Amino acid sequence: MRHMFAGSLIASLTVLAPVAHSQDTQAPSVSAIRAQLFYEETGTFSRDILSGEPFELWNAIIGEGAAEHASNHTLVTVEVSGRDVAFDEAAVEIIVRDSNDRLIAAQTSEVSIYDEAETFIAPVLLFDTGCEPLTVSARLVGDVAESSEMSAEIPFACGE
């Protein structure tokens, strides 16, 4: 009985021992900006409208162009890639402006990439979109060794 308890104790201690993490760190960087139309009729999203594949955004508010349904909201996601980035080290700042340079949205999300993960995704839901072109800018802020930023244009347009 004594040997069985000792074996269980050793097995338990083995499980509780900290896992050695790779010393490989990679400076975080903004690696992608994506955008998807939100379809109010179905509660679903379009494919990425910034993927580089053609996506006509003419009159998306009434479901025309490449929109499958009417869409008045857009989900923007910004991807940060790196290794072992803690909350207090870096954040991603996302700014969205219209064609008149008016601020539509501003959000800062603390970046955390731990263990085997190599990416962090920060979302921003934009309301009342679909006719006005938008510029999305993302940049890393905080205690980062190298600056990293990216921007993308969402060419919404409406008319008769």
pLDDT digits (tens, 9 = 90+) for 25-59: 677 899 999 999 999 999 999 999 999 999 999 99
| Dihedral angle computed from the Cα positions of residues 37, 42, 43 and 46, in that order, rounded to the nearest 10 degrees | -30
Q: Per 3-state DSSP, what percentage of the chain is helix, strand, and coil (rounded to 5)?
A: 10, 45, 45
Question: Is the separation of the CB atoms in 91 and 148 below 8 Å?
Answer: no
- Amino acid residing at 108: T
pLDDT top residue among 25 and 98: 98
Residue 99 backbone dihedrals phi, psi, to 5 degrees: -70, -15
Q: Is 73 exposed, middle or buried (0-12, 13-18, 19+ CB in 10 A)?
A: middle
The predicted pLDDT at position 85 comes to 66
The predicted pLDDT at position 59 comes to 97
Model confidence pLDDT, tens digit, residues 3-27: 444 444 444 333 443 333 444 667 7
Q: What band does 87 get if pLDDT is binned at 50, 70 and 90?
A: low
Pairing of strands 71-81, 29-39: antiparallel
The whole-model pTM stands at 0.81
- 23-36+74-154 classified as CATH 1.10.3720.10: no
pLDDT top residue among 90 and 96: 96
In the chain, domain spans: 23-36+74-154
Question: Is the separation of the CB atoms in 62 and 37 below 8 Å?
Answer: no
Range of lowest pLDDT (59-73, 74-88, 128-142): 74-88
Model confidence pLDDT, tens digit, residues 109-129: 998 887 778 999 999 999 999
Sheet holding 149-154, edge to edge: 103-110, 90-98, 134-142, 149-154
Pairwise CA distance, residues 153 & 56, whole Å: 13
CB neighbour list of residue 17: distance below 8 Å, 6 or more residues apart: none
